[in-house]
A and B are shown apart, each in its own frame.
Chain A
Amino acid sequence: MKSFTYERAETPAAATAAFARTPGARFIAGGTNLLDLMKLEIETPAHLIDVSRLGFDRIEATNDGGLRIGAMVRNTDLASDARIRRDYGLLARALVAGASGQLRNKATTAGNLLQRTRCPYFYDTNQPCNKRKPGSGCAAIGGFSRLHAVIGASEACIAIHPSDMAVAMQALDAAVETVDAAGKARSIALADFYRAPGSTPHLETVLAPGELITAVTLPKPPGGTHIYHKVRDRASYAFALISVGAVIRRDGSGHVALGGVGYKPWRVAAADAELPRGAKAAASALLAGAKTSHENAYKLPLVERTLAAVLAQAKG
């Protein structure tokens, strides 16, 4: 770990100003991802700005009947909120399928969205990795790729985004609210939030440097049956091989998003439209253009079959 300086920001403006002032600064929330990466010198911030006391720790109703989830709401608190459990069960289920109780007590909404990939080569600083060290190559391509992306990847990077929470939020049409150093606020649809790796896999979101996440908003409750099916080798405390988050209404229509397949929670409008026709149709729309390695080709049938299980469960 490189030595660094630390400050706790008291206001959002102070946080973004501190960022603008200090080269090499990073925000830190729960620290459950950033600190691990700092210990391994995968991230080497010179200055940490603690954003956990900015007051973004509430879940409030929005004018259009949805919810605004503060950026610092802990994953545990979010999953146990009565409104979330009642109206957005998918999100609650995805959250409790992730990490462990202790980690969820620390992990925040914003931090979860911005957690970095679990690609093992990314974690080993001896190995080439374009995401960690742009231009050094991608060790996962042609290497151990059982866990890697089957869609949306590039020649430079085949990493996946590991979040469970984000999959649910994607299926629920969430948006990310931010503020930048100039005090300008904006809202970004989660669908537009993550950047495709292309030739710059180290750039992971559309956030500008120093842009602070203040909240995630959910539109009004979608109704339907909420299911999160996370598939993994062991029963708990493991990242998803793939996951399916879905809201299925009685008439068979709904929304579906996938985890474990690409650089972002994967959602395709055409697939939602195919849902009433069943898993095969929807899965092939979701995975159109998929590219697999020998080691991760299983993800394609697995997605289809898991989606079928989800649709069967929704029917009851």
Chain B
Amino acid sequence: MKFDTPATDNPIDRLKVVGKPTNRIDGPLKTSGTAPYAYERHDVVPNQAYGYVVGSAIAKGRITSIDTAAAKAAPGVLAVVTAANAGKLGKGNFNTAHLLGGPDIEHYHQAIALVVAESFEQARAAAALVRVQYDRAKGNFDLAKSMDGAVKPPPAFGTEADTRFGDFDAAFASAPVKLDARYTTPDHSHAMMEPHASIASWDGDKLTLWTSNQMIAWSVGDMAKTLGIPKENVRLVSPYIGGGFGGKLFIRSDALLAALGAKAAGRPVKVALPRPLMTNNTTHRPATIQRIRLGATTDGKLTAIGHESWSGDLKGGSPETAVAQTRLLYAAPNRMTAMRLATLDLPEGNAMRAPGEAPGLMALEIAIDEMAEKLGLDPIAFRVLNDTQVDPEKPERRFSQRRLNECLEIGAEKFGWNGRKAKPGATRDGRWLVGMGVAAAFRNNLNEKSAARVRLDRNGTVTVETDMTDIGTGSYTIIAQTAAEMLGVPLDRVEVRLGDSAFPVSAGSGGQWGANSSTAGVYAACAKLRTAVAEKLGLDPAAAVFENGKVRAGGKSVALAKAAADGDLVAEDMMEYGDLAQTYQQSTFGAHFCEVGVDAMTGEIRVRRMLAVCAAGRILNPKAARSQVIGAMTMGAGAALMEELAVDKRFGFFVNHDLAGYEVPVHADIPHQEVIFLDEVDPTTSPMKAKGVGELGICGVAAAVANAVYHATGVRVRNYPVTLDKLIDKLPDLA
């Protein structure tokens, strides 16, 4: 099915199942510990051995010798894999560094060996016996010092590195009110609960991999490419994923090494990355340095918007697209954005929840707050004043839906914004300095083609199969809701099977495109099945109404199951997209509000309450969507207040590489959250009329928190995370 004209009325609009706050169908499995994650698939093949990964001890250089004799001789050891004996390996399209390093080392903790043994403990003990000599090379680990040498990167994901519109330089120079400020965001770790883990099993030249992965088809391709085998020989199974946040978009060393280990040992091998290896072995969100220049008239109209961002990555990597939202968020006749990429020898930078927008808005939405203050305007009024309903660089392109102002205004009302004193540092609650902050949330909507297969059996059960993944987001549930709505059956008549490369290729989980795209694919397959059912039952497909387990048309009503009385009916289809996303700018919007308390004495910062108001198309399942948004708000609070991979600029690695050192919020940090979804449908996105919320939820949060800290204290911190050491010298004097 091709989607190339805005959707009209369709069966989803009945909203009997879709749009209802439905419990996750995988919830009981998750809460009872019976959802089998990759490392726990003891059932899938017998005789599994254990692999343990050895990571490089240096960030850059060469292995001069690697002695595996002691490891091989250790009790229980079956095989030791290194680059020297692994055979020729390629590199996946989505990997920047090699997943198995040596003799060249590209980054710290790059995998250089896998020790396979009968037990996990034996493998781990033997891994410590691998003796490696290195020739350390000088590396480049300091982004700030590398800014001058940073280059203009080629377009990534269709995004040009530089844009110019109007005459920014002249407009900025002549603006009566100006801001020119520099912001930094640190490297972030996905820090998901479930580590990267895989079980590999070979049957002749065919590989099956039970793994934890967000993008099945990409990863089948990359696995095949890396191993140099045909795609058809790789099967990936990933039905349950304990969080990904972009860290599992690609195959990582666990998957490759499990496959190599299984080949070497001649039996299935399972590999999980131990927590201390995850940070430097896998990917992270790269740090940015951002310069923002804003010019405005004295009455608060922006005339010039300039946003530049510097980030670093390994050679061949890509920039953090932190200026992306600035091209679209606020009106101004003169604009420029630019991205520069430095070559760094730190571990590989890559996508993490709302790549680009998350760090970009961390900076931009502080700058907007600062500018509002310079103008003597309320931060909400200033944003509302500079709203645009069109793409500012291409005014002929309208936003398909843009209700940012409503988000801000409704949020202000609900949050009690009007009671807020304009002056910072003026509100006190006992020992706490109290402040409120706001920020706009913005994240583009993306549609990706997505296929599904639907089967109706004689009992009236509908089975959906697609390689879509559920990374804790609720994919199982919204897909079941979609099929139930389309075929007029209750939710419990639908069985959803996900995350298997044997199923039709879906959009996968990334870029917040999963919900709308994967359900649109299911819609397409269901539409085909409806036709097949109607034809089978001798009803007019165009007139047929599917409701309450029956199909009705021309005064006739037949049980749906009847259509499969003499054999299952199966339909498969893919939703593809025309150019509506070019005709219209499709984006999601929101407003984040936060109240913090800052201990006037110690500078300790504690969030008191948070609110998000989101406008993101049809909300397919308000309960699951809310979970996505509150989780994202929590992650945003972490980015604001504590998350930072500490770079050792001498040795070139992230030092705090475990969950004791890399702090993420705990329950005590997040006392109260609320989420409001505006009632919105966007007919330009798909027949589902939906968009995504999983990344929108984090966009702008950190700035709202940082702005609240400023409002509480009068101290402006432009370098994240906003920690007390950055406030302490500027807090009010001791009484």
Binding site for B on A (CB under 8 A): 1-3, 39-41, 118, 120-121, 123-124, 126-127, 139, 142-144, 146, 229, 231-239, 241, 279-280, 298, 301-302, 304-306, 308-309, 312
Contact = CB atoms under 8 A, between A and B. Distances in A.
Given A302-B603, A305-B734, A308-B601, A234 B431 contact: no
7 contacts: A1-B121, A123-B276, A139-B651, A144-B647, A239-B660, A279-B734, A309-B602
A146 B663 contact: no
A143 B731 CA distance: 27
Closest 10 CB pairs of A and B: A298-B725, A235-B668, A126-B57, A309-B601, A236-B668, A144-B646, A144-B655, A233-B642, A305-B601, A235-B669
A125 to B, nearest CB: 8
B276 A305 contact: no
Interface in B61-102: 75
Given A146-B725, A233-B642, A234-B663, A41 B601 contact: no
B665 A40 contact: no
B729 A301 contact: yes
Given A118-B660, A306-B601, 4 more contacts: A120-B661, A127-B651, A305-B601, A305-B603
Interface string B696-735: 0000000000000000000000000101110011010011
Contact of B667 (A2, A120, A142, A236): A236
Contacts of A233: 641-642, 663, 721, 723-724
B650 interface: yes
B240 to A, nearest CB: 25
A233 B728 CA distance: 13
Q: Give the residue among A231, A280, A305 with the most B Cβ atoms within 10 A.
A: A305
B656 interface: yes
Q: Is the interface of B mostly helix, strand, loop or mixed?
A: loop
B128 interface: yes
A3 B125 CA distance: 8
Contacts, number: 104
B655 A302 contact: no
A1 B125 contact: yes
Contact of A298 (B57, B58, B728): B728
Contact of A41 (B128, B603, B641): B128
Interface in B678-699: none
Contacts of B646: 120, 144, 146
Contacts of A312: 601, 735
Interface residues of B, number: 43
Q: Give the residue among A126, A142, A306, A312 with the most B Cβ atoms within 10 A.
A: A126
Contacts of A298: 724-725, 728-729
B44 interface: no
A232 B603 CA distance: 10
A42 to B, nearest CB: 11
A267 B735 CA distance: 25
A237 B667 CA distance: 10
Given A1-B121, A1-B124, A236 B728 contact: no
Interface string B566-607: 000000000000000000000000000000000101111010
Contacts of A238: 663
A287 B602 CA distance: 17
B35 to A, nearest CB: 23
Contacts of B658: 123
A135 B658 CA distance: 26
Interface of B: 57-58, 75, 121, 124-125, 128, 276, 431, 599, 601-604, 606, 641-642, 646-648, 650-651, 655-658, 660-661, 663, 665-669, 721, 723-725, 728-729, 731, 734-735
A281 B641 CA distance: 31
B128 A143 contact: no
B728 A302 contact: yes
A143 B668 CA distance: 30
B648 A234 contact: no
Contacts of B125: 1-3
Nearest to B671: A235
A103 B724 CA distance: 27
Contacts of B599: 309
Nearest to B128: A41
Given A41-B128, A127-B651, A236-B666, A305 B723 contact: no
Nearest to B56: A126
A304 to B, nearest CB: 8
A161 to B, nearest CB: 16
A127 B654 CA distance: 12
A241 B723 CA distance: 11
Nearest to B663: A234
A127 B734 CA distance: 41
A306 B604 CA distance: 10
A2 B128 CA distance: 9
Nearest to B731: A305
Contacts of A304: 734
A2 B129 CA distance: 10
A171 to B, nearest CB: 18
B598 to A, nearest CB: 12
Given A123-B658, A126-B57, A236-B668, A301 B648 contact: no
Q: Give the residue among B657, B665, B666, B735 with the most A Cβ atoms within 10 A.
A: B666
A133 to B, nearest CB: 13
Contacts of B663: 233-234, 238
A39 B121 CA distance: 9
Contacts of B128: 2, 41
A237 to B, nearest CB: 5
Nearest to A309: B601
B666 A142 contact: no
Given A41-B128, A302-B602, A235 B734 contact: no
B660 A121 contact: no
Given A1-B124, A309-B599, A309-B602, A40 B276 contact: yes
Contacts of A126: 57-58
Given A40-B276, A305-B731, A308-B734, A143 B650 contact: yes
B485 to A, nearest CB: 42
Q: Give the residue among B75, B124, B734 with the most A Cβ atoms within 10 A.
A: B734
A305 B735 CA distance: 10
A301 B604 CA distance: 13
Given A118-B660, A120-B655, A234 B641 contact: yes
B650 A142 contact: yes
Contacts of B641: 233-234
A284 B641 CA distance: 29
Q: Give the residue among B57, B431, B648 with the most A Cβ atoms within 10 A.
A: B648
A239 B663 CA distance: 10
B276 A124 contact: yes
Contacts of A301: 728-729
Contacts of A279: 734
B191 to A, nearest CB: 13
Contacts of A234: 641-642, 663, 665-666, 668-669
A234 B517 CA distance: 37
Contacts of B651: 127, 139, 143
A41 B431 CA distance: 45
A189 to B, nearest CB: 30
B655 A121 contact: yes
A3 B276 CA distance: 21
Q: Give the residue among A39, A41, A234 with the most B Cβ atoms within 10 A.
A: A234
Contacts of B647: 144
B297 to A, nearest CB: 40
Q: Give the residue among B276, B601, B641, B725 with the most A Cβ atoms within 10 A.
A: B601
A243 B650 CA distance: 30
A238 B665 CA distance: 10
Contacts of B650: 142-143
Q: Give the residue among A120, A146, A236 with the most B Cβ atoms within 10 A.
A: A120
A302 B665 contact: no
Contacts of B660: 118, 239
B319 to A, nearest CB: 25
A90 B723 CA distance: 27
